[in-house]
């Protein structure tokens, strides 16, 4: 898997989306310092908000393949200067978070991310799981196998013909009203 470093103001949802990607229980945890995991580097919002600390992001960014600029869908303004992605020597993607929120305006957040220079934008909710699989697929290297691909291979192995596992997934989704 390629590694993504999440950057964004405090409360934008970096730690929570990281928990969703790792399949962990969602619990509030204020990030105190840079946390380095297998696929994600989680950073404190203050590093993006404070000039003196922002150089730490530039250094840790070298440890990542991709920088994810987060913007919550309930943000009242954008922290990012226009075309700020040009300061990074890594690919930068935009991640709109909290799209499940009652006050969410995902298109406004996406527009601010585009102004910051992001071309690829993900729309996500760590609470409903929307968009999480897309990010994981995007980070996937050709040799990686994701958990749901393993489950599909298992279905195929126990005798469901091609396409049957997709039908089974749809049936399960309908039963769970997903
Ligand atoms: N509705 C909703 N709330 C979310 C979502 N993701 C995060 N939150 C809430 O937003 C708040 C902040 O989330 P964090 O993930 O801690 O934010 P952060 O960017 O890591 O913040 P710092 O560690 O301070 O930089 C928490 O109360 C979360 O429960 C989401 O997808 N939907
Ligand atoms: Mg955090």
- C-alpha 5/C-alpha 57 separation (Å) is 9
The answer to whether 149 touches 140, Cβ cutoff 8 Å, is no
Predicted local distance difference test score (pLDDT) of residue 163? 65
Are 63 and 112 contained in the same domain? yes
Q: Which residues surround ligand 2, an ion (CB under 5 A)?
A: 14-15, 31
pTM: 0.88
Are 42 and 120 contained in the same domain? yes
Tell me which residues have their CB closer than 6 angstroms to ligand 1: 8, 10-16, 28, 30-31, 44-45, 97-98, 100-101, 125-127
Are 78 and 164 contained in the same domain? no
- C-alpha 136/C-alpha 161 separation (Å) is 26
Are 50 and 105 contained in the same domain? yes
Running along the chain, 178 residues long, what does each successive block of 10 average in pLDDT?
Answer: 96 96 91 93 96 91 96 96 94 98 98 98 96 94 83 70 68 69
Closest ligand 1 atom, CA of 29?
16
Are 153 and 71 contained in the same domain? no
Q: Specify the residue with its C-alpha closest to ligand 1, atom 9.
A: 13
Are 16 and 82 contained in the same domain? yes
Q: What residue numbers bound the domain in which 73 lies?
A: 4-142
Are 110 and 127 contained in the same domain? yes
What's the structural domain count of the chain?
2
């Amino acid at each position: 898997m390629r590694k993504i470093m999440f950057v964004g103001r405090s409360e934008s949802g970096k730690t929570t989306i990281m928990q969703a990607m790792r399949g962990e229980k969602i619990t509030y945890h204020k990030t105190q310092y840079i946390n380095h995991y297998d696929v994600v580097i989680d950073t404190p919002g203050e590093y993006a908000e404070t000039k003196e600390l922002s150089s730490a992001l530039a250094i840790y960014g070298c440890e990542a393949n991709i920088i994810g600029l987060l913007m919550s869908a309930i943000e009242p303004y954008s922290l990012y200067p226009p075309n700020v992605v040009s300061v990074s020597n890594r690919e930068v993607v935009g991640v709109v978070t909290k799209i499940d929120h009652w006050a969410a305006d995902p298109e406004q957040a996406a527009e601010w991310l585009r102004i910051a220079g992001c071309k690829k934008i993900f729309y996500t909710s760590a609470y409903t799981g929307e968009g999480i699989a897309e990010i994981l697929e995007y980070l996937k290297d050709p040799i990686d196998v994701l958990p749901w691909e393993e489950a599909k291979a298992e279905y195929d192995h126990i005798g469901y013909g091609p396409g049957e596992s997709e039908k089974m997934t749809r049936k399960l989704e309908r039963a769970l009203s997903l």
